[in-house]
Amino acid sequence: MPVGGYVAIAFVIVILLILSSCIKIVPQAQAYVVERLGAYQGTWSVGIHFKVPFIDKVAKKVLLKEQVVDFAPQPVITKDNVTMRIDTVVFFQITDSKLYAYGVEHPIMAIENLTATTLRNIIGDLELDQTLTSREIINTKMRVSLDQATDPWGIKVNRVELKNIIPPAAIQDAMEKQMKAERERREAILKAEGEKKSTILVAEGKKESAILEAEAEKEAAILRAEAKKEATIREAEGQAEAILAVQKANAEGIRMVNEASPSSAVIQLKSLEAFAKAADGRATKIIIPSEIQGLAGLTKSLAEVGAKEL
């Protein structure tokens, strides 16, 4: 092949390479800042784009995703002259590719330095205890301050977090001792409250037990009284029934006597028997009416006659 043929092939290859370099595809979540003859030409978004060879160039590729930067611990001094080290985490997102490309040199370094100075200014107005307990307030102040400062750079600061606060070793020892004393104090309080509640519960238990015993004794006494009352009533009813039975028997006897129409001699004999029962062998002196005395003599005579005949 002649030399001219090789030159033509090389020329075609160069042309193809130049044309391929002029075709640019911008991926998702990115933007390209394009310059023409050194001046800002435009910003390419997602898709395919063509540039003029040797005239246009991609000056900067910008990532539009939210980015996270963890800065090294920075020494700060509190209002009460305590030096500590604080490291921060900044969440930011590029919102304007042109401002980001031409706003500031080394944007990440600028954000780091701005974060350090802002942190020192905020911590300088707070004491140690406030610094340790006011993280949310510090985060909010830093986010507002950094967001305002980075607006001209096309950067929006979404969130700022204090990752770690490292006080001096002496302060850490004092804080640990304080926390230990506080825990011991709380433990003593809880123990005392537990003993108090236990004593109260024991006393209430004894009180309730005494009340229950008294109520039980009261109920037992009431039951005993009711039982005694019922027994007395039953006994009285039994006696009344016995008296009534005796009276009925006497009445029945009188009725039967009246129905039999006894003679005067029989009546006098029954009277004598009644006096004998009344004496019952214990009386030393009995006064017998004269009517019954005659009947007694008659009875004695009859008894003697009967004995002789036997």
Tell me which residue of 306, 257, 304 sits closest to 274, measured CA to CA.
257
Q: What is the pLDDT of residue 262?
A: 60
Q: Which residue did the predictor score with more confidence, 124 or 278?
A: 124
- On the question of pLDDT at 294 being above 60, the answer is no
Question: For the segment 53-67, what is each residue's pLDDT rounded down to a tens digit?
Answer: 888 889 999 999 999
Q: What is the mean pLDDT of residues 15-35?
A: 86
pLDDT at 61: 92
Which residues are CB-contacts of 42 (< 8 A; sequence separation ≥ 6)?
A: 34
Q: Is 146 exposed, middle or buried (0-12, 13-18, 19+ CB in 10 A)?
A: buried
In angstroms, the CA 32 to CA 59 distance is: 7
Ranked by mean pLDDT, the top range of 13-17, 146-150, 170-174 is 146-150
Provide the pLDDT for residue 308. Answer: 45
Q: Check residue 236 and give its pLDDT.
A: 83
pLDDT at position 282: 56
What's the helix, strand, coil split of the chain in %, to 5? 65, 20, 15
Percent with pLDDT over 90 in the chain: 27
Please give the pLDDT value at position 310: 46
DSSP string, 212-251: HHHHHHHHHHHHHHHHHHHHHHHHHHHHHHHHHHHHHHHH
**Cβ of 69: how many Cβ atoms within 10 Å?**
13
Judge contact between 30 and 64, C-beta under 8 A.
yes
* pLDDT of residue 305 exceeding 70: no
- How many CA atoms lie within 13 Å of 171's alpha carbon, on the beta-carbon side? 15
Predicted pLDDT at 306: 44
For 110-119, how does the pLDDT look when each residue is reduced to its tens digit (9 = 90+)? 999 999 999 9
Domains of the chain, each with CATH number or no CATH = 3-63 (no CATH), 67-167 (3.30.479.30), 262-310 (no CATH)
CA distance 165 to 169: 12
Question: Is residue 137 scored above 80 in pLDDT?
Answer: yes
DSSP per-residue codes, 20-61: HHTEEEEPTTEEEEEEETTEEEEEE-SEEEE--TTTEEEEEE
Task: Say how far apart CA 157 and CA 93 lie, in whole Å.
Answer: 7
pLDDT band at 161 (very low <50, low <70, confident <90, very high): very high
pLDDT exceeds 70 at position 83? yes
pTM of the predicted model, to two decimals? 0.55
Taking alpha carbons only, the member of 68, 70, 69, 74 closest to residue 86 is 74
Q: Is 290 a residue whose pLDDT tops 60?
A: no
Question: How many CB atoms within 10 Å of residue 257?
Answer: 13
pLDDT band at 42 (very low <50, low <70, confident <90, very high): very high
pLDDT per residue as tens digits for the range 218-248: 888 898 888 888 888 888 888 888 888 777 8
For the ranges 1-5, 178-182, 250-254, the lowest mean pLDDT is seen at 1-5
Q: Residue 289 above 60 pLDDT?
A: no
286, pLDDT greater than 60: no
